[in-house]
Amino acid sequence: MKTNSQIFILLFGAILGMVGCQSGSGGNSGPQPDANQHKPVGTTSSKACYQSDLCFTAISATQIVDTNHDYLYADPAGFPTPSLRGQYIAPSRFIDLNYVDGSAAIADSFIVKDFMDVTHGRYALISPEVVAIMQQIREALGRAVYITSGYRSPGHNSSTDGSAQWSRHMYGDGVDFSSAQPNYPELQTLCKKFDASFTLIYATHIHCDWRLHELDPAFYYTDIVTPKALGEIAPEAQLIFEATSTNLNVKVRIAEGDSDDVNEGELIYQWYAQDAQGHALSSSASTLELPIAGAPYTIDVLVGGSIHLHQNWPQ
């Protein structure tokens, strides 16, 4: 039979044990880990959390069911700019849209389906940073913004953009959008204000992406840390001249690689040429046609509001 002093010691020990359990391992009274925070890089699942405080589980790419081979990403070693290859690794985790309400709000003005539509791939991702930026653009604009394309699986993207194997839509940071009473130069200015890495204006929408920003750890296993807002980029391009006895035809050839996002529709062209007599000629067609008799020419063109070329002909 236990004495009164033994009973007191047992009760005191139990009380200390309860306090230790409430305080954490080793009696640490600091805050406990939030279950919604990203798990460390390298785990098979994670949480992707958006402005609305809504979080989705992102499952490992090894768990996806890809019977149509829609999730075959190109080897980043084949990307033509070596310094950017770290930004073109395949996503390691995806959100399974079969278990997500497409009408759920992920920002004040946007729902899941705006950026991740199951018709573009059952498994998807969209950078929480990009969603937050699009909300800022919407607020700065002061009128409705319509997302025309967010995430696309590689298979869906190929059917949309031909052989666009490097499109940022597949990596979760590329967005095509329009707005009420669209003013595309205005939208382009806003994208650049919010650190877009690449922008292009089309006849029916604008493409903006944040390909130089850090890849979100909710979707990527990577030890590469890319500083945000490294600046804007533009694909390499050149003017191609085709001369006949009477006419000079000029067109733009855009290099392969990080120019894959140019294949999303009809780009906007702004041509300006000056002939030997100083007469100015302008055009918004995709190619420029000039009379040979007016040579030599000074030619400028702005493609998609981002790619500027200047050349004399003949050189």
Contact of 95 with 48, CB cutoff 8 Å: yes
Average pLDDT over residues 243-259: 85
Q: What is the mean pLDDT of residues 260-273?
A: 86
- What pLDDT is recorded for position 52? 79
Cα–Cα distance measured from residue 206 to residue 188, given in angstroms and rounded to the nearest whole number: 7
169-214 residue pLDDT tens: 999 999 999 999 999 999 999 999 999 999 999 999 999 999 999 9
Residue 88 pLDDT greater than 80, yes or no: yes
Q: What separation in angstroms does the CA of 261 have from each of 71, 142, 169?
A: 18, 27, 8
For residues 239 and 301, the answer to whether their CB atoms sit within 8 Å is yes
Q: What is the pLDDT of residue 162?
A: 57
Q: What's the rounded Cα separation, in Å, for the pair 177 and 16?
A: 59
Q: What is the CA radius of gyration of the chain?
A: 27
User: Across the chain, what does the average pLDDT equal?
Assistant: 84
Q: How far apart are CA 300 and CA 84, in angstroms?
A: 29
- Structure-token match 């009473």, residue found: 181
Q: List the Cα angle 49/72/195 in 5-degree steps.
A: 45
Q: Among residues of the chain, what percentage have pLDDT more than 70? A: 81
User: pLDDT class for 231, splitting at 50, 70, 90?
Assistant: low
CATH of domain 237-313: 2.60.40.10
> At 112, which helix (H) or strand (E)?
helix 112-115
Task: Give pLDDT, residue 13.
Answer: 38
DSSP three-state, residue 130 = helix
Instruction: With CA atoms as reference, report the closest residue to 127 among 234, 220, 221.
Output: 220
| CATH label, 46-209, candidates 3.20.170, 3.30.300, 3.30.1380, 3.90.120 | 3.30.1380
Q: How confident is the model at residue 225 (pLDDT cuts 50, 70, 90)?
A: low
Q: What share of the chain has pLDDT > 90, as a percent? A: 70
Give pTM, 2 decimals. 0.80
Domain boundaries, given as residue ranges, for the chain = 1-32, 46-209, 237-313
In this structure, of 28-32, 207-211, 220-224, 237-241, the range with the lowest mean pLDDT score is: 28-32
Taking residue 309's Cβ as centre, other Cβ atoms within 10 Å add up to 15
Please give the pLDDT value at position 20.
32
